[in-house]
Chain A
Amino acid sequence: MKHILKGIVTGTAAAAVLATGAIAEDSPRKGGTLITVIATNVRNLNPAVQSGIVTGYPGAQLFAAPLRYDEDWTPQPYLAKSWDVSEDGLTVTLNLVENAVFHDGVPITSEDVAFSVETIKAHHPFKSMFAPVTSVDTPDEHTAVLTLSKPHPALMLAMSGQLMAIIPKHIYGDGQNPKTHPRNTENVVGSGPFKLVEYKSGEHVILERFDDFFIDGRPYLDKIVMRIITDPAARAIAYENGEIHMGAFESLPRIINRLKKVDNLTVTDEGYGGIGPLDWLAMNTTKGPLKDVRVRKAIAYAVDKNFIHKALMEGTASNSLTGIHPDSPFYNTNVEGYDLDLDKSRALLDEAGFPMKGDSRFNLTIDFGWPGVKPQVEYVKAALKKVGIAVEVRASADFPTWAARMGEMDYDMSWDTVFNWGDPVIGVHRTYSSSNIAKGVWSNTQGYANARVDELMQMAAVETDPAKRTALYAEFQEIIADELPVYHTNTLPYHTVYNDNVGNPPLGIWGTSTPIDMTYLKN
């Protein structure tokens, strides 16, 4: 079991060693232009006010976070050379590196850290990240002390990757709304390893090495070109003919499997544990037959996950049993998996008081928000017919139409894709806590309420002991798997594609949402 919080308290000691210990596998070459691709248009380059994977990639290159994470979910020093969490968990002290400057040469100080926390608290959509932070004190230029209203272990992951961009106070503190600040897309002054050369909406983002970056000798690359190519088939051809060195978030099984056969390409699903994308079948627990947990179980037994994994996802996605991504250290594999069992399913439906009447027992609808998951939805319809549930597929014209239905809980079942975003507090709790019932899309649209689940989440949110926290989440996952507000089917098959010329591609827990200052071109 890997520990998410390993090293919080001992971080200070470890940091001193790690700060200088650059990971050198096969002496990286310096220089060169890495051509990469983004699948959707970038609209905002400032991750302090804009979440999402599209902003994450350029954002994490432009702006540095206090921490970064290694492959084992252990925090590593980055802009903070060391950190310290007090015994009671109520103060977190960040000791910043001393030579760090923004891209305009102004030193990065604790004032900027305080300003960044304040901005993120006010404008980032994930309120849970910094909600317990009551104040940030700046005893000196390179020390920032975060005071918390309660212990908040999720803070560690929230201070890494794209989630905590340190932005310059002298630029964004000019009184304009940081959310719509013009400097979010032009003349960006960042703190990260690369600076902005050009951003053209719909076309590309071009970054260039920042020579005064605070880690000596990094980044290795001279330039990163991020081309915006929205068509997956066109991207696949560009990988194949070498026009693009690397790209992430490829999710079409057919294209993934085709690219896997290309000689000089590597296609991997490593690097998505932090973002934690999950596909699932959501059920409205407040309406009709789905109120009964036996009906929800009957549905789970009738839907063959194996078919989804093998036929629909073509082997590109992993099994997922709970609301926590399988790559997360908190993932619990010892929960009910609901292997296909039609007899059990029928028996459960009989028991719940829904005997066969003519052709079926009762009717349900199923929704979906984007065309890519239509096969899953059609499959659920076919699968449930076998146990006597007549399912009507309701298409939505577009995402907002579907989101409005979800937000109003005007649905029976729906296919959904939700991300974990690092710590469970950030991206998992929202789906199950009763205080979050149907507050917009990707909240608790199942209307699920269980006092014990609420209590477990509250306890886990403030538990600083990693082992105890894991145990709390283990129980939480057992209950979710048993009560099935959501039937978890698979991880979203995100894959990173890179060719043989790319050395040390970003495959850590945050994938491309983390600085790629150690990535290089072999020739």
Chain B
Amino acid sequence: MGILRTILLRVVYAILLLVAVLVLNFLLMHLAPGDVADTISQSMGGADQEILDEIRVSYGLDQPFIVQLGRYIANVAQFDLGYSFFYNQPVTKLILERLPATLLLVIAAQIAALIIGVVLGVISARKPNGLSNYVVTFLALFGYSAPVFWTGILLLITFSLNVHWFPVAGMRDVTIEGGFWVHFIDVARHLFLPAVTLGSIFLALYSRLTRASMMEVLGSDYVRTAKAKGLTSNQVVYKHALKNALSPVITLAGLQFSAVLSGAVLVEAVFSWPGLGTLAFQSIIARDTPTILGILFFSALVVIIGNLLTDLALRLVDPRVGGQK
């Protein structure tokens, strides 16, 4: 019954966490001077006091903090994330429209970083002092240390401007007409650079960790036994060693999921990827409290689900995890 208990516990934690996320962020948003009425008037090119007051009254911003917080929590409890003053749309609609794009980007980046990271890690672990090790280490650390918006712009200049392999921005080319596969390829082409950019940060983590973990495993007794049985080097590495070396990598990948999500904010801004990151960025600048809180709510949800999946994945590769009561 380990799995059910884990899930149940996670749900309880999740609810507590979500309430904390909401209250804390609500408080933080209100500590800052100025409000969305100012940004609305900015986007209108200025407004007089009556209009500012009208905006504040109609959105309940003139009420005391506690009243606003109470109303908000009550609404969220009824699965109503509120109405965005800035976008003139319900927050839930706004977020659900953007969520698929972000999930696509984040999952593509995460999977690409994991697969490439693990492969590179294994390659360098097999010859810890070889040239390939240095090349892999250099590439990985380069991706890790370079600011992600800089990597993005650099990739854009190289692959969009110098050679016209990939489009500059957005998620699809609206002038393209055709069936499912035409659009699939179009989205994939748009996805490539942002996913690589976002993945490049995490590639280093995964490859370095795989390398370390792999080297440790390769030195263990059962690997020696496997070799002694006369298995080929590839069989030993991929069938025996890798499975055991993976569990710290998966743990890290789960932990990093939230980091990937926040990394997406910058990547989405550079590539105009129409996802939550762009929305989050704009809402923060606009002080659009309901939208920011809604995004944080969804992000917390995604991270919680991501961690749950990590747990389940760990059980698959390492049965010991679910063993203890």
Contacts and interface: CB of A to CB of B under 8 A. Distances in A.
B116 interface: no
Contacts of B137: none
A440 B41 contact: yes
B47 interface: yes
Given A43-B43, A237-B161, A185 B51 contact: no
A127 B97 contact: no
Interface string A20-36: 00000000000001010
Interface in B25-58: 32-36, 38-39, 41-52
B284 A234 contact: no
Identify which of B161, B164, B269 gathers the most chain A CB atoms within 10 Å of its CB.
B161
A176 to B, nearest CB: 12
Contacts of B39: 399-400, 403
B45 A427 contact: yes
Contact of A439 (B34, B49, B169, B272): B49
B175 interface: yes
A448 to B, nearest CB: 16
A52 B43 contact: yes
B303 to A, nearest CB: 22
Residue from B45, B51, B97, B271 with most neighbouring chain A CB atoms (10 Å): B45
A238 B157 CA distance: 10
B27 to A, nearest CB: 16
B170 interface: yes
Nearest to B94: A201
Contact of B45 (A44, A52, A179, A198): A52
B270 A234 contact: yes
A229 B272 contact: yes
Contacts of B88: 43-44, 179-180, 184-185
Interface string A43-77: 11000001111100000000000000000000000
Interface stretch (B16-24, B217-225, B232-240, B274-282): B274-282
B48 A201 contact: no
A241 B287 CA distance: 35
B134 interface: no
Contacts of A228: 272, 274
B138 interface: no
A227 interface: yes
A216 interface: no
> Among A33, A41, A54, which residue has the most Cβ atoms of chain B within 10 A?
A41
Interface in A406-464: 407, 418-419, 421, 427, 430, 436, 439-443
Contacts, number: 174
Given A125-B46, A125-B47, A225-B175, A400 B35 contact: yes
A401 B270 contact: no
Contacts of A407: 38
A400 B292 CA distance: 15
Contacts of A441: 38, 41-42, 46
Given A234-B272, A427-B45, A441-B42, A400 B34 contact: yes
B168 A127 contact: no
> Counting chain B CB atoms within 10 Å of each CB, which of A51, A229, A231 scores highest?
A231
A125 B287 contact: no
B171 interface: yes
Given A238-B168, A238-B169, A233 B44 contact: no
Nearest to B173: A243
Nearest to B98: A202
Q: Is the interface of A mostly helix, strand, loop or mixed?
A: mixed
B199 to A, nearest CB: 19
B294 interface: no
A397 interface: yes
B169 A43 contact: no
B45 A421 contact: yes
Contacts of B42: 399, 403, 441
Given A202-B274, A442-B46, A400 B153 contact: no
A398 interface: yes
A373 to B, nearest CB: 14
A471 interface: no
B34 A404 contact: yes
B41 A203 contact: no
Given A33-B175, A234-B272, A399-B38, A419 B45 contact: yes
Contact of A125 (B36, B44, B275, B279): B44
A400 B33 contact: yes
Nearest to B276: A202
Interface in A159-191: 179-180, 184-185
A204 interface: yes
Interface in B71-88: 86-88
A391 to B, nearest CB: 22
Contact of A43 (B86, B164, B174): B86
A397 B51 CA distance: 24
Contacts of A418: 46
A237 B45 contact: no
A237 B97 CA distance: 27
Contacts of A402: 34
Contacts of A33: 175
17 contacts: A44-B88, A50-B43, A127-B50, A179-B88, A202-B98, A228-B274, A229-B170, A230-B282, A231-B169, A231-B270, A234-B156, A234-B168, A398-B287, A399-B34, A400-B35, A440-B46, A441-B41
Given A125-B45, A233-B156, 6 more contacts: A202-B275, A230-B278, A440-B47, A441-B41, A442-B46, A443-B49
